[in-house]
Amino acid sequence: MKADLTETKKIQARLLEILLYFQQFCEEHDLGFVLAGGTCLGAVRHQGFIPWDDDVDVFMLREDYERLGPLWERFADTERYACVRSNEQYNIHHTATEIKDSNTTFINRHSVDSDIHQGLMIDVIPLDAVADGKVARLMQVAHGMLYCCFNFQRLPEHKSRAIYYMTRAALGLVRSPKLRYRIWKHEEKMHSRYKIGEHALVASFGEGLGIMKQRFPKEWFLHPGKAMFEGHEMPVPADVDSYLRISYGDYMQLPPEEEQIPRHDAVFIDLEHGYQQYRGIKYCVKK
C-alpha cells in the first residue's frame, strides 16, 4: 500500500530548503559534496525527490567532512540550522553529521527518549579511503562495524538476525556511555586513518555491512558531475550511472508498491514550530 504523500510533499519542501542552504554554504567555504543514496537516485530517475522519500543524503570526502563542523559554527546561520554530530556528551544515534532545521520538529521513534535536537534534518555521510590489501580491508570493515555498533547504540532495524543479536550482545556487555564513546571514537579513527590522496577507492564505513562493501573511485567525488534536483543543479558522482548500478542494480526499475513508503519512522512531526516546545510532551517524556 502506497503512503499518503501529502505530508511527505511538505517534508520534502522543507528538506529542499535545508539542502539549498547547505549547498550555498559549501560553495562559499570550498567544501565538496555530492548527492548520495536515494537522493542521487531521485535526481536521476525523477529529477528530484523519489515521490515517497522523506530524507536527503549527501556524501563528503573525509577531509571536507572534518572541516564542516568548525566552519559551520563560525559562519552558518546557527539559529536556524544546526550542524549536529555525536560526541561524548551528545549522541544522536546516527553515524552521520546532521544539518537540522531548528524551526521544525521531526521526532524519530529511536530518539524519542533522547534529549537531543529533534528538528528535520539532512544527513552528511563521510567517505573514507579504502585500504590496500585483502586483510587490511577486512580489518577496516571490522572497525566500521564496531564503530556503527557503539555509535548508534541501538538495535539495528531491517538488518539480519545475526547482526541484530551481535549488536545486542555487544551493547549488553558494554553499558557505560563513556566506554561506548571511547570505543567508537577509536574505531572511527581506525577505519578512517587512510589518506584519500594515497588510495584509489573510497567507501562509507558508517552504514550497514552491505554498503561498506561498496567501493567507488575517488575521482567520482573529487570531480563530480551535475544533475537537476527539484529544478536546482546539484553535484552527483561523476559516473552517476555506475554509482547507482553498484548501489541499486537496475535503478530505473521502481520498487514494488508495498516498498514505496517513507524511510523514517517518525512518531511526531510539526514543520512549523521548533522542537524545543515539545520537550517533556512529545519527547523526553517522564514515565
Phi, psi of 179 (to 5 degrees): -70, -40
Close Cβ partners of 13 (under 8 Å, ≥ 6 residues apart): none
Calculate the CA dihedral of residues 127, 129, 132, 133 and round it to 10 degrees. -30
Close Cβ partners of 39 (under 8 Å, ≥ 6 residues apart): 49, 53, 55, 56, 57, 58, 229
CATH 1.10.10 fits 5-127+214-278, yes or no: no
> Across residues 229-252, what is the average pLDDT?
98
Note whether 132 and 192 are within 8 A (CB). Answer: no
Q: What pLDDT is stored for residue 287 in this prediction?
A: 58
Single-letter amino acid, residue 232: H
For 23-71, how does the pLDDT look when each residue is reduced to its tens digit (9 = 90+)?
A: 999 999 999 999 999 999 999 999 999 999 999 999 999 999 999 999 9
Q: How confident is the prediction for the chain on average, in pLDDT?
A: 94
Q: How far apart are CA 52 and CA 49, in angstroms?
A: 8
Report whether pLDDT(97) > 90: yes
Q: How far apart are CA 271 and CA 274, in angstroms?
A: 8
DSSP-assigned beta bridge partners for residue 226 = 235
Report whether pLDDT(162) > 90: no
Q: How far apart are CA 76 and CA 28, in angstroms?
A: 10
Residue 57 C-beta-side C-alpha neighbours within 13 Å: 22
Q: What pLDDT is stored for residue 1 in this prediction?
A: 43
> Across residues 212-220, what is the average pLDDT?
97
Q: What pLDDT is stored for residue 168 in this prediction?
A: 83
Note whether 128 and 114 are within 8 A (CB). Answer: no
Report whether pLDDT(100) > 80: yes
Q: What pLDDT is stored for residue 207 in this prediction?
A: 87
Q: How far apart are CA 126 and CA 65, in angstroms?
A: 6
The least confident of 1-10, 64-73, 235-244, 245-254 is 1-10
> How do the domains of the chain map onto residue ranges?
5-127+214-278, 131-193
Report whether pLDDT(104) > 90: yes
The least confident of 31-35, 166-170, 235-239 is 166-170
Cell of 142: 571490522
Measured CA to CA in angstroms, residue 45 lies from 51, 229, 275 at distances of 11, 10, 33
Q: What pLDDT is stored for residue 161 in this prediction?
A: 76
pTM attached to this predicted model: 0.94
